[in-house]
Homo-oligomer: A and B are copies of this chain.
Amino acid sequence: MHLPEPLILLNGSPAAAVSPFDRGLAFGDGVFRTLRLEAGEPVWWSDHHAKLVADCRQLGMDCPRRKEWEQDIAWIAARQADAVLKLMVTRGPGPRGYQVPERPYPTRIVLASSLPDLPDPVRECGAQVRICDLRLGHQPRLAGAKHLNRLENVLARMEWDDPTIDEGILLDGMERVVSGVMSNLFIRLDGAWLTPSLGQCGVAGVARARLMPRLGAREADFGLDSLLRADAILLCNSLIRLRWVARLGERTWQRPDDFDVLMEGLCSGA
């Protein structure tokens, strides 16, 4: 099988490699985004760019200019029109030690990979999920941001290798539901849509922000009991967009009535 060379830009240059002194490697000192490139267009780009800027600000970092990202994406799109884009920005190379250089030079990385395989049509096929053993720690200074310190997600993802399990549900140390390992989460409970508040841990994704007004959802703290009592659970992220949960252990759910409308709304959004 022939695999194409992966498309990579590092500070706008093709196929470069990262300095071993980069603070992204040394400390996870940076943030990233994962988004769809469809027919050469980055999906939900304005939202993703705004989130990059906000996450950089949360770490006290400069974010490369929008125009630079857009030039990189155009270069990728000219070579692979449909892909998963990963955008990363780190605080750049620095001498040993935690202290931030006086004038950091951020490292900007854009990677393309293949779009994931999803059941077709995804609307017919609900996700099977499990509850992870790992409990997320609380760190309000980092909560919400998609930073490069993702060992909790790695350890949680290591808990299963059953390919029929699509996602793991993460709780925090207070046994509150937070998110999926790779997705945000909504439940419909007593007729109201809820999504976990993310002030202490978790990543506040772009798909979650787009779904909230459509569902009229509000942020709330809830535990496993509410998850199991919910009459619908939705998972979302910028790649899968939306999936409904069909099974968690013995508990099963049907496809929510409004799933198709929600999915169509997300797919047509700019």
**Would you call B24 and A25 a contact (CB within 8 A)?**
yes
- For residue A182, CB closer than 8 A to chain B, the reply is yes
Alpha-carbon distance A34/B136, docked complex (angstroms):
28
- For residue A216, CB closer than 8 A to chain B, the reply is no
Residues of B within 8 Å of A88, CB to CB, are 20, 25-26
Residues of B within 8 Å of A111, CB to CB, are 20-21, 96
**Would you call B98 and A27 a contact (CB within 8 A)?**
no
Q: How far is the CB of A229 from chain B (nearest CB, A)?
A: 28
Residues of B within 8 Å of A141, CB to CB, are 134, 152, 155
Q: How far is the CB of A136 from chain B (nearest CB, A)?
A: 8
Given A8-B20, A17-B19, A19-B18, A28 and B158 contact (CB-CB distance below 8 Å):
no
Size band of the interface chain A makes with B: 35 or more
**Would you call A28 and B137 a contact (CB within 8 A)?**
no
**Would you call A154 and B29 a contact (CB within 8 A)?**
yes
Of the listed stretches A36-44, A142-150, A260-268, chain B binds A142-150
Interface string of A190-205 (1 = CB under 8 A from B): 0000000000010000
| Interface residue ranges, A against B (CB under 8 Å) | 6, 8, 10, 16-29, 32, 34, 59-60, 84, 86, 88, 90-91, 95-100, 109, 111, 113, 134, 136-139, 141-142, 147-158, 173, 181-182, 201
